[in-house]
Every structure is written in structure tokens, then in C-alpha cells.
Amino acid sequence: MSAATKEILGRVRQMIPPMLEKFHKGQLGRVGVIGGSEDYTGAPYFSAMASARLGCDMSHVICTPTAAAVIKTYSPNLMVHPLMRSSPSPDSIPAAADADPTQVASRIIALLDRLHVLVIGPGLGRDPLMQETCARVIKAARERSMPMVLDADALLLVQKDPGLVKGYELAVLTPNVVEFGRLTKALGVDEMVREAQETAGEEAKVEALAKTLGGVMVLQKGREDRLSDGKKTLTVDLQGGKKRSGGQGDTLTGSIATFLGWRKAYLDGLWETGGGLKEEELLALAVFGGSAVTRECSRLAFAEKGRSLQASDLTEEVHTAFMNLFAEVDSEAGGARL
């Protein structure tokens, strides 16, 4: 890894809570993943399991009833809430509470006080009722100053209504190359940075997009991951795998969410932190840490599976990736890459 990456990971390490007997259930992170529909059940599972395997205490999935029945069979370790609803078919007569996005959202919003971080988008799809429901949940989470990670089809909400997250510095967007292109085009960023790109390189667009959104953290996934709040841009240059199978971004969202949960634990002073980190840098460090763990998962899984690699292979590497990068923060650092 580069010297810059090594230095940043050293700072990330400071925000990782040690394993202490005094902690109780839930203090080291409570993550809720909103997504999962009839067609997409794997994505929310991969996101929630990544958060759990990395060290989040409690991982929830909030999805449709049809998705919940499937996701519950994947693992007994996740808490699955069948609270989302999709648009009714033309020949059905749903209950009024199941067709009104405000009423559907109200049941999800009631859960927010039990959570520290939201991930919105894995397996969400483009169903109008689900999209409208999530828009209401985003507004409610923002009112509660809750960190949130938006990915996949949740990014369509930002594309259509940037005001949902504009100016909200606790929002993290994780677009892939196609989603990033849609966002920059929809928000007029392409023209804005054309001249800047000629002189400032590839960092210009991600920085401009974050700035256009008023300080939202944008993580541009690619050969190298770039993250920016419009003021400062960091590059995660750790080697990843070469297989581009679907679902790897879900490990990323879950990993970032756990680091954001640890951010709260750090700010709450749950252990003797030494106070070496400033509050304003913690969100970027959390996103950097989540990206680094995911890239190491990808590298490890590809080394073993090669071209047969699937998203589930990353899930199995989360703990090893964490140990490779950070070792046990409360014991000997033998074997750590730092």
C-alpha cells in the first residue's frame, strides 16, 4: 500500500473500538439495511452480513414480505422486518395502509430510534411505491441526524430529487461507474468540470459532485476508490480482485455502515480513545475504512476463487480482511499489514 494509505488506515484504526467486557449489546453498532424485493434478496443480505461480520452488534434488514421469507432462510443472525411494500398489481385490492407510501414509511420510521446507521438501496429496485417510501424515510433519518449510506437504486432518488440529501454531511453515496455517470449528468457536473478535469485529473468529478450536493460524501467506486466531501478527496489504492461479479458493492455498504456505527461509539466516548481524531474527519475515515476492508475482501476472494468469484465469497473474507488491515486493536498487532 502507499504511504498515504498506510497513514490514513492508522487513523482509521484509532476509531475502531477495542473488545471490552464493559460493553453491552448494541453499543458497537446497530445497522438497518432498507431494500430487498421479490426479485432481489441477495443484496440486502450481503450488506447486512458484511456489517455483522465486521463487528456491528445488531444488523437489521427492512424489506418486503416476499423478500423477508427468503432472507430469513439465509441466516438466523439477521433481524428481518417485512415492513416495505411494493406497488399492487392491477387486479389486486391492497389494504390502504399498504398502498400509501406515507403509511408504509411510518412503520419503518418507528424503527429508526433503535438504529444508529441506515443503508438504503441494496435490492430496492425501481418500484414507485418503494422509491417513494424510501424518500420519506430519508427525510425522517435526516431530521434525526442519522448517518446513511445510499447505493444502487436509492441513487435514483438523489438523481431525481437532489434536495433529499443536498447539504446533509452525514449522507454517503456509493455509485459505480454507470451510476456515477448518471448523477453527474443529471446534476450538470459534466460540463462544470470539463476544464478542471484537464488540469486536475480524475479527482475533479467526484469532488465537483460532492460540492454540488453541498458536502455529501461521495465514494466513486473503480480501479481505485475515490471519496470526497467537496473539500478534500482521498484515494483508496489497495489492490482488489479482478472479477466484477454483481453484489460486491453490498459488502462495501455494510462495511461502511459498521464503521459509521463505530464513529458514534468513538464520539460517545465508550472507551479511552486518546482523543486523537477530530469529529469532522470521522465520516471520511469511516468511508475509507469500509472501502479498504471491501477491497481486501475482494483481493482475498479472487486469490482463492479466481474467475468463479461471487459476492458471497467476499462475505466469508470480511474478518480476515479486517485482521490483515488492523489486527486486533486490543491485543498484539502481529500479522497486521500496518
Average pLDDT over the chain, rounded to an integer? 93
Please check the confidence at residue 197 and state whether its pLDDT lies above 70.
no
Q: How confident is the model at residue 294 (pLDDT cuts 50, 70, 90)?
A: very high
Residues that constitute the known binding site for ATP: 221-225, 240-249
Tens of pLDDT, residue by residue over 109-121, are 999 999 999 999 9
Percent of the chain at pLDDT exceeding 90: 87
Beta bridge partners of 141: none
Averaged over 325-335, what is the pLDDT? 63
Averaged over 324-333, what is the pLDDT? 70
Q: How confident is the model at residue 164 (pLDDT cuts 50, 70, 90)?
A: very high
Amino acid 327: pLDDT: 85
Residues that constitute the known binding site: 123, 176-182, 221-225, 240-250
- The separation between CA 142 and the C-alpha centre of its own chain, rounded to angstroms, equals 16
Tens of pLDDT, residue by residue over 71-100, are 999 999 999 999 999 998 877 777 878 999
Amino acid 192: pLDDT: 75
Residues that constitute the known binding site for (6S)-NADPHX: 123, 176-182, 250
Q: How far apart are CA 91 and CA 105, in angstroms?
A: 24
Q: How many residues does the structure list for the chain?
A: 338
Please check the confidence at residue 194 and state whether its pLDDT lies above 90.
no
Amino acid 328: pLDDT: 66
CA dihedral 187, 193, 197, 200 (to 10 degrees): -110
Q: How confident is the model at residue 225 (pLDDT cuts 50, 70, 90)?
A: very high
The three-class DSSP label of residue 219 is: strand
Q: How confident is the model at residue 330 (pLDDT cuts 50, 70, 90)?
A: low
CB 176 within 8 A of CB 249: yes
Averaged over 226-248, what is the pLDDT? 95
Tens of pLDDT, residue by residue over 4-62, are 999 999 999 999 999 999 999 999 999 999 999 999 999 999 999 999 999 999 999 99
Tens of pLDDT, residue by residue over 22-32, are 999 999 999 99
pLDDT: which is higher, 227 or 91: 227
Lowest mean pLDDT among 39-43, 187-191, 290-294: 187-191
Q: Environment class of residue 6 by beta-carbon count within 10 Å: exposed (0-12), middle (13-18) or buried (19+)? A: exposed
Averaged over 226-234, what is the pLDDT? 97
